[in-house]
Amino acid sequence: MTSASGLKLLLVIAPALLAYAFITYIEVRLPLPGKRAPPGSPWPQPRRWQSWPLQRSLDPDTFALSSAAAESCDVVAKALSRYRKLAFLGDSTRRGGGGGGGEERGFSAVVDHGLLPALRVEVAQYQGEQHCGYPQHKDDESYTLNIPEQGDAMLTSRTVWGALRGLETFSQLVHQDPVSKAYLVNVTVIDDIPRFAYRGLLLDSSRHFQPVKVLKQNLSAYSPRHVYSLKDVQDIIEYARLRGIRVIPEIDTPGHTQALGKAFPACYFNGTRGKPDYPNHAAFEMLNPMQDYTYDVMRDIFREIIETFKDKYIHLGMDEVYYSCWESSPEIAEFMQQQGFDAVNQVEQYYVKRTLANVQELGAKYMIWQDPIDNDVNAANDTLVGVWKDTSLDTKMGRWQDYIKPIARKGYQMVLSACWYLNYISYGQDWKKFYQCDPRGFDGTEAEKDLVVGGEACMWGEYVDGTNLIPRLWPRASAVAERLWSSADVNDTDDASFRLDQQRCRMLRRGIPTQPILNGYCGDYEWDLDTPYHID
């Protein structure tokens, strides 16, 4: 059992050398570039972050997390309880711990370090449904965090959502000395705010059923049983709310509707309705856009979705509308003649206009994929457009930069997904290409670039289910997260690799099976080395 470095085996068996996170080279002749990050380096990197060598120690038995907001806001109260545990997921905690004395937990006071007794959290706005309800687009997520040389640490934010982001950062700053097992944190000042308001992850639950516990873990064979009950959906929404995560449903029409399309048949073959013409169209993959009944039923569906989900937005899909289905229908041909339409994209325009009006009357805002805009269909001015096409996904497509610019010129706000299809996998460190994709990295004016409000990584489900969803997502999705949170000039993949490795090890400690980014190890935190400490 030899390797390129005999030192690797020594590192495994010598506890004194175990590090918090330690990635190594693929080959000894190929040393890793970049600067190795010190323990307690946060991910994503804060906007402004200054840290000093002086460290404070924390006693997990006496350390206090407090906030006046916890008395009336359950988001804050439950976050304090959750992060009280997450901050101390060290070796001794995972092996035995939980509420014993300091010696049993592995805590040892460090003489040269002043004890940090508490973190006080101050939230300016936290009372009532408006401030402690459900997170919405463009909510303020900024925070400041001060860990001084003496006294308590202080976290301040305008909203509870900013407090959640600050608590996550604080939990990452805390690290454990590999020898003494003392919990330490550097004297630090952070002033942080995300670069983009929209930072999303799309999970496809249509092609494979994704178990609720896997969906919830990600937020921290079809049969009648493979459906989400109303209680399941409400449980996921509440689980996400307490973590400051928005849940936006996508109901894709008029395409991708094989099951629903049976009620609204629109496709013909050789004059027979409901017959496939492979590979041009399936039997029922498109809704019938000329029937009022189509819009009445969809309105009822949208109403139920909007009442159940608490976000102001609903995603309406509208991608991959294959005209061959509609062109096969003599009824639609007659409808086009009656309406004075001379092109099929006018049928799509008709469907888009009526559908957006339906949703608007129900009081919701809407997102769609870029396809209608590409087809010269005019959507409402307030439509949020998802840009997903890129030559990396299909060689018949152009670059995403070539698609996003004309959409920007039309004045639509946009969310980029094109370079973050995480279901596409390749050997090696593909996270680097995700990290280097900037949503505003296209040839446009500053005003046009400002129309890009964020991005969304996608995990489509053709080859993904509950068995492989989490490790395929993470830490690759973390690369997208930093690109959407941190400043544009935080873009060095060599330096980022060390912090990303730390983040990967943190996730392992939290019970999340996260795949490695390179050779290396996570101290005593390797997956399934012992029962993972998972915090709900």
For residue 488, what is the DSSP state? T
210 and 461 Cβ atoms separated by less than 8 Å: yes
Both tokens assigned to 436: 């280097």
Both tokens assigned to 314: 């609903």
| Cα–Cα distance for residue pair 166/87, rounded to 1 Å | 12
| Cα–Cα distance for residue pair 471/465, rounded to 1 Å | 11
| Cα–Cα distance for residue pair 177/112, rounded to 1 Å | 14
| Cα–Cα distance for residue pair 219/240, rounded to 1 Å | 7
* CB neighbours of residue 337 within 10 Å: 10
What count of residues does the chain have? 536
Q: How far apart, in Å, are the Cα atoms of 123 and each of 211, 323, 435?
A: 35, 53, 32
Both tokens assigned to 292: 């009022």
Between CA 84 and CA 92, with CA 86 as vertex, the angle to 5 degrees is 100
SS3 28: coil
80 and 121 Cβ atoms separated by less than 8 Å: yes
Catalytic site includes residue 141 = no
* CB neighbours of residue 396 within 10 Å: 7
511 and 86 Cβ atoms separated by less than 8 Å: no
**Of 320, 334, 361, 526, catalytic:** 320
Please report the DSSP string for 425-447 in residue order. Answer: --SS-THHHHHT--TT-SS--HH
70 and 119 Cβ atoms separated by less than 8 Å: no
Active-site residue numbers? 320
